[in-house]
Structure 1
């Protein structure tokens, strides 16, 4: 059941006053939650509160800012936590409240917060973890910048072989700029909830989009498709299926696990 704070309604004038005095860091927190739909306290800290002298200081400031945004009825926490109640405050999961969405978006747009299915929630949080892993690539000496697009900015529209409109929907699209070259990646995060035929069908969509030539015309090359899986067994099964498929191009794909993503990404850039 929602608390009185979470049910509090903000009228247009009050929302404008809040927006006028809101620190940019608070607005950045709202934007991060908006782009991923759901984030844990720890993920918000990793995205936004990175300039503190210690992890303890960053954690305290994060909790303080989130508590303020909750009192203003701009964000809401979900009843469930990652890892259960014992995981502590860092495991609280946040979403925008309607007023927070209105502050970021057009007043005419409607927004309703709701509790998601466990499957959808876990996927959103896993994609956010991969996003954070990509951001950390900037710690490499050779990496000058990392640009990351979340859904729906990561999506690509194209024309299918029969002239029909199609939509490719990567979880993330990234551009990693180093001193010597530019790497482009489409990223799919799979928690083992999709069947193997569904995964291979998505690979087929990438092949069709590649055949359209849109990316090559814009960037002179087609991005690698990175599949991130939870288990090594699942990753190996998909990898062997891609190798056996006559309609797929194995060199187009990189198959990794969530635990090995950061290390593999650094190796691809060396």
Structure 2
């Protein structure tokens, strides 16, 4: 395929709406999204507190989502991932989407950036985890709209990564699934979120928790945030797994358990939301 010239990118922009561009930016941020997630993020149902109109029914929102996605696919700015999203609760008919090369070039050109990202068909494990992270983010957006707080920052990988120096002089990189800052009129809450799918043995969870602790000990985040260090929130698929993570961290003498929360998705939202959110805190170690 011949690369698009700046003129062709400019011409393509004439065919895209602001919402089209938000869809492209969502795909850039999360790397992969399925149709349902795009609908939740950009085609919400019901009245929206932020003033954006919502759709009357789920069916109407889904139809328009599909219409927009098919149009963006025809323009060559998004592409279907080469496997369908299956599994309990997600439906074998869900399509996963990613930016196409033209879509990435278009977003880079709008920001005045150069470079190019190489796209490959993701493996099943990467696809499932990436979509689970995006589902959590979509749920947080919905909670923010319903409870009336703001999401000041929501960074997914690799924007969420933190590089730091350890005492011995080496460089390490911490890779949270999400780095989140929420706020209301009275408070601001910072969190690192790890989405656990119960596919890793507990020693791997403890190693990642140990890296978080080394980052805390380095003082790098605190130096950039007026002494504040985010809560570290492990989000497990069920309560049994959350309890196992909580116990493993508590029993590890090398870890300061006060840094960590381990819970399931719904109660974790109260930890990530501002402290003055209507819902009480829950799920802490």
In 2, Cα distance between equivalents of 1:32 and 1:231: 27
Matched, 1:87 2:91: yes
Unaligned residue ranges in structure 1 (runs of 5+): 1-7
2:73, 2:79 within 8 Å by CA — same for their partners in 1?
yes
In 2, Cα distance between equivalents of 1:263 and 1:152: 25
Which one is further off, 182-191 or 192-201? 192-201
Matched, 1:203 2:206: no
2:78 pairs with one of 56, 75, 79: 75
The alpha-carbon deviation at position 174 of structure 1 amounts to 0.7
Matched, 1:29 2:23: yes
Q: Give the structure with the higher percent helix.
A: 1
1:207, 1:248 within 8 Å by CA — same for their partners in 2?
yes
In 1, Cα distance between equivalents of 2:3 and 2:222: 47
1:73, 1:97 within 8 Å by CA — same for their partners in 2?
yes
2:151, 2:180 within 8 Å by CA — same for their partners in 1?
no
RMSD of aligned C-alpha atoms?
2.3
In 2, Cα distance between equivalents of 1:259 and 1:143: 17
Pairing of 1:33-112 with structure 2 (within 5 A): 33-50=27-44, 51-83=54-86, 87=91, 91-105=94-108, 108-112=114-118
Q: Which residue pairs with 1:244 in the alignment?
A: 251
Which one is further off, 152-161 or 116-125? 152-161
The alpha-carbon deviation at position 142 of structure 1 amounts to 6.0
Unaligned residue ranges in structure 2 (runs of 5+): 45-53, 273-278
1:155, 1:167 within 8 Å by CA — same for their partners in 2?
yes
The alpha-carbon deviation at position 97 of structure 1 amounts to 1.2
Superimposed CA distance per residue, residues 35-74 of structure 1 (whole angstroms, 9 cap, x where no aligned partner): 1111010100111112323322221111111000111111
Secondary structure, aligned partner of 1:267: coil
2:271, 2:281 within 8 Å by CA — same for their partners in 1?
yes
2:80, 2:98 within 8 Å by CA — same for their partners in 1?
yes
Secondary structure, aligned partner of 2:280: helix
Taking structure 1 as the reference length, what is the TM-score of the superposition?
Answer: 0.87
Count of aligned positions: 260
